[in-house]
Amino acid sequence: MPKRPEELRSYRWLGVEDSRPAFGHRSRLFQVGYDRSDFAGKPVIGIINTWSDINPCHTHLRTRADEVKRGVWQAGGFPLELPALSLSEMYMKPSTMLYRNLLAMETEELIRSQPLDGAVLLGGCDKTTPALLMGAISAGVPAIYVPAGPMLRGNWRGGVLGSGSDVWKYWDEKRAGTIDEDDWREIEVGIARSFGTCMTMGTAATMMGVAEALGFTLPGASSIVAADSAHGRMASASGRRIVEMVWEDLTPARVLDARSFDNAILVEQAMGGSTNAVIHLLALAHRAGVPLSIDRFDELSRRVPVLADIRPSGRFLMEDFFYAGGMRAFMTRLAPQLALDAMTVSGTTLGEGIAGATVWNDEVIRPYDHPLYPEGGTAILRGNLAPDGAVMKASAAEPRLLKHRGPALAFESYDEMAAAVEREDLDVTADHVLVLKNAGPQGGPGMPEWGMLPIPLKLVRAGVRDMVRISDARMSGTSYGACILHVAPEAFIGGPLAFVRTGDMIEVDVAARRLHLDVADDELARRRSAWTQPPPRLARGYGAIFAAHVRQANEGCDFDVLDVPMHLPEPEMH
């Protein structure tokens, strides 16, 4: 039974006739030039737009907001565009992760404090997606996500360049002296050729795909290339759909359940997705009140192979993925594993959304029996070095390093590590395990993407391109290598990582999901009793608030005051 206009949330602001506050609200719409017929009895749709001049991944979102508005008007809604914090992965320092929860709070409060009946969420650059979804879940009104979409392929001398991955790759080649300054400058110009997000399977592409698998987008929306005209049509269609969703009262709580999260994890694993997705999905699930533990990622990773042959795990880029059939076709390959009866914002099931989709290129989207990697991309390791878990993108590591024992080379801080790896006289071999501490949720703070520690210069020159690296940091989804990340609990709060010393032997066994520090328990206890917490890196303002409230990586790094599913009362009208 559809809602009646008097049941709209916005009715209290705009619909009540004999009311001084409603008089004020309506008079200010007239002030802007709207007529009563523009809004009376219509769902008010907030278009939460993370466009910004400083976010090149979102350059097109102003235009997309207009296209969403067109759809909202067509369907009989009243659109209002609301700017929100743009988390520009390229420019925000030390890390956009520090600000994910801030955008999540802003999204939630933008919706809650204003007369919105539904929300269209515009974003895509890395942390923007989880932040928007987290906020919308907590706000509880119907919401649909319009992913920014990936940019076009990079191009250099007739070859293809991929965001992030080829930056790291050619930076090491430059350090090794195999390319020169002119080559490097040409790469700089050719690697980002259009608006849209990174086009490798980084955090952006991963989280856009995850959002679709959760049921938060129209079918196929997440893989449409940003510069393709289909992207604008998808934005308008999302505008039309959100109006219907409001009348149907199709809230996130009615879309999301344990099946949706399993679908999202399976898709993320089979895409060879970013390790960041683990943290974001944990946070999203907590917001939605769906029980989810880090171990579920490992269980599901053993159930599906990596089928997307996309960099950094594979060869192709998101533009190829789109032409190969995109996310709908990709999910048909996983269909036997997915909960096809899970609900989506379309008002239909996931299975109905992918019905009839076809894979057009088996090299890009591999057949189930011819995978890129036999298991899902993300493994969860545990052991005395990470009692609450650590994450590794095993599909993007050199296979010889998946079982390894070597001496630690430990660093207390990023600056210490960054200076050391450039030293020609550094006492290091390819068998060493590089360890970085104090880069976790509180220690970073915000878990900067420092987890792909640079290979020491003298080893790069000797041809080494991968070695085992361990930290409580994250790494970019476009990064690669034998990097063990998100070690929990983090060093800054006295997790075992804090007690690693140079020369300690460390064992990694990915098949056994084991991460072991080969130091006797009594020696570790001695080191623990002598340990003191380092001073905070950010002692005032938002950084201090963040460090005081952020949870650990295995809990999703949400704030302790935000990850509680709870319905707050509607605002009073004064």
Residues of this chain that interact with ligand FES (CB under 6 A) are 57, 89-90, 125-126, 163, 197-198, 202, 204
Nearer to ligand FES, 96 or 471 (CB): 96
Shortest CB 442 distance to ligand FES, Å: 25
Q: Any residues with CB less than 8 A from the CB of 303 and at least 6 apart, and which? A: 266, 269, 337, 376
Q: How far separated are the first and last CA of the chain, in Å rounded?
A: 31
Q: Any residues with CB less than 8 A from the CB of 377 and at least 6 apart, and which? A: 268, 269, 271, 272, 273, 301, 306, 313, 393, 394, 395, 396
Shortest CB 410 distance to ligand FES, Å: 30
Could you tell me which of 259, 304, 260, 298 has the C-alpha nearest to residue 379?
298
A 10 A CB-CB count for 564 gives: 12
Nearer to ligand FES, 126 or 320 (CB): 126
- CA dist 174 and 159 (Å) reads 18
Nearer to ligand FES, 447 or 467 (CB): 447
Nearer to ligand FES, 337 or 476 (CB): 476
Phi first, then psi: what are they for 387, rounded to 5°?
A: -60, -30
Shortest CB 217 distance to ligand FES, Å: 17
In the sheet where 143-147 sits, what is the strand order? 78-83, 44-49, 118-123, 143-147
Shortest CB 478 distance to ligand FES, Å: 7
Shortest CB 521 distance to ligand FES, Å: 43
Shortest CB 87 distance to ligand FES, Å: 9
In single-letter form, the type of residue at position 410 comes to A
Nearer to ligand FES, 313 or 552 (CB): 313
Nearer to ligand FES, 204 or 284 (CB): 204
What sign has the CA pseudo-torsion 232, 77, 103, 141? negative
Nearer to ligand FES, 72 or 191 (CB): 191
Structure tokens at 574: 């004064």
Shortest CB 407 distance to ligand FES, Å: 35
Structure tokens at 515: 């991460």
Shortest CB 300 distance to ligand FES, Å: 25
549: left (phi over 0), alpha (psi -120 to 50) or beta: alpha
Nearer to ligand FES, 163 or 471 (CB): 163
- CA dist 554 and 489 (Å) reads 8
